[in-house]
Amino acid sequence: MVFQDFDKISERRRLEREQKFRKRITIAFIALVVLLILIAAGIFVIITENKAKKAAKQNDHEHPETAKKAGNIERVIKNACNSTSYKDTCIKSLNRAVQKNPSESNPKELLRLSIQATDDEFETVLDKASSLKFVNPREKAAFDDCKELIETAKEELKDSISHASSEVDMFTKNEPELNNWLSAVMSYQQTCIDGFPEGKIKTDVENIFESAKELTSNSLAMVSALALFLQSFRTTRRLLAKEPISSFMHEDGLPSWISHEERRMLKPPAEEAEEKLKPTVVVAQDGSGKFKTISAALAAIPAKYNGRYVIYVKAGVYAETVTVTKKMVNVTIYGDGSKKSIVTGNKNFADGVQTFRTATFAALGEGFMAKAMGFRNTAGPQKHQAVAVRVQSDRAIFLNCRFEGYQDTLYVQAHRQYYRNCVILGTIDFVFGDGTAILQNCQLLLRKPMENQQNIVTAQGRIDPHETTGIVIQSCRIGPNQDLVPAKAKVKSYLGRPWKEYSRTIIMESTIEDVIQPDGWMPWEGDKGLKTLYYAEFNNKGPGSKTDARVKWPGFHLINKQEANKFTIEPFLQGDWITAMGAPVHFGLY
């Protein structure tokens, strides 16, 4: 039995060895087949790649400059668009521009091509908007405003195109102008949209403007990126008043648009220059001047007038709607005092007038200046939006002026603006808009609103992070007007609220009285803009300036001296033009 069992075990082991051997043979065969397949595939890939390289080499040999140029342009476009918020839109628009104008595909021209693409898009915007059906008077009025705003935007885009240069010296001079014009173009688009009442038409208009807004934003971003790139080549900083800051400065440091006679008068100190400045025409209600209305005096400006047109407005209350048109450049209007020479009106939103059109006085022409004048909108708080003054003028100055209204008193719509020793009265958002404005040594007085209303000093309207706009209140006083004093404990008042997503307001070195709530700022609607806005306070005083209970929004900041300096006259307004126009101004921090 024992030997018989052993034989069975030996036979079983032999069979197992034979089975393992066959298994190894099978595995080896399969591995060989796989190896042969991989070798064949590798040979195929090598042959294919060699053919492709040979074809590419032959193509490069036949068209070397074209291939190299196309590759370079493609890389440059991608790099240029990296700084933008809408990269796909940027790449597509620049590629189209290069294909359309291959002779202008120099990488240095990309900024100009980007702005040109924005200008081209406005033609499409106007065509699409014109095809909409407006069913009520407010929509029709809003569209009329849109057409005017689009034409203005196109004019300033053309200015931008003509000044878009990547040459170090030229770009350094033109950078502030490009930022200024393109930021204004953003403002015009949003003003157009805001003019329409809520509903389908407004949504349609927003969609029509979407591409144009993206292209404008991208152009602004490219200006900033190019400025940063060229910064290393700059040999001087624009820190001294005598240093010209734009291509519009004459060699003597005064703006090039100022006449020889005006240049002579402005060289002495500001006070002396003001004494020597004589009126071109006089407006007087009693007939002692050449005109009885300001509008008539403006209409009489010659089409090709050289120098500054100075209108002296004698004491009186002038009930008229006044517009200094975009063609009326370098106009000065001065009166006998802000409580003596007064322009008044009562247009308002409640009566069916667009906010844009409610202004008693509108300044559009470049280089506008007003001195010792009063501006009123007497519609009252129950009429809601009712603007006293709308300012679209670039390099606009208001000295010793008074602005009286309730909601939306002063509309700093667009461009660079400077206010000095002015008094501004209002209730809701009474300093608002998307201009680049600094108020110095001014009084902002809150009036008594209607029941259940709150007071808000500012509502800045920046819609894009690349805009260089904002409202700066420096060395001012924020307090109650006489009518609010008895009721100030019952009325909540705030420094500002974010009208748009990137609202920017800075209050510094000012006196804030106890009329302002401890949290300081209020939201517009929900959490709109609370993360993207920029609200800042620096070195203020007074009982309303305490910051320990201020809002905790991500966009609110208590800034230091270094940060506050960025919002002073020179860096924020490139403000040499202020002294050049004979106005008193304080550079830097107090």
Q: Is the dihedral of CA 557, 559, 562, 566 positive or negative?
A: positive
Q: Which amino acid is at 64?
A: P
Nearest one of 214, 100, 106, 248 to 167, comparing CA atoms: 106
DSSP 213-233: HHHHHHHHHHHHHHHHHHGGG
Q: Are 539 and 509 in contact (CB under 8 A)?
A: yes
Quote the CA–CA distance of 118 and 80 in Å, as a whole number: 16
Quote the CA–CA distance of 399 and 100 in Å, as a whole number: 49
Nearest one of 241, 115, 112, 236 to 167, comparing CA atoms: 112
Q: Which amino acid is at 327?
A: K
Give me 496's structure tokens: 């500002």
Quote the CA–CA distance of 245 and 240 in Å, as a whole number: 10
Cβ count near 70 (within 10 Å): 14
Q: Are 506 and 473 in contact (CB under 8 A)?
A: yes
Nearest one of 110, 106, 118, 113 to 80, comparing CA atoms: 110
Separation in Å, CA 211 to CA 112, 118, 126, 139, 220: 17, 9, 13, 22, 14
Catalytic residue among 145, 408, 429, 434: 429
Q: Which amino acid is at 111?
A: L
- Alpha helices (H) along 472-535: none
Quote the CA–CA distance of 538 and 522 in Å, as a whole number: 18
Quote the CA–CA distance of 414 and 184 in Å, as a whole number: 5
- Alpha helices (H) along 399-457: none
Quote the CA–CA distance of 410 and 377 in Å, as a whole number: 10
Active site residue 429: yes
Q: H or E stretch including 480?
A: strand 477-480
Give me 86's structure tokens: 């809408």
Quote the CA–CA distance of 476 and 29 in Å, as a whole number: 92
Q: Are 547 and 570 in contact (CB under 8 A)?
A: no
Query: Which residues are known to be catalytic?
Result: 429
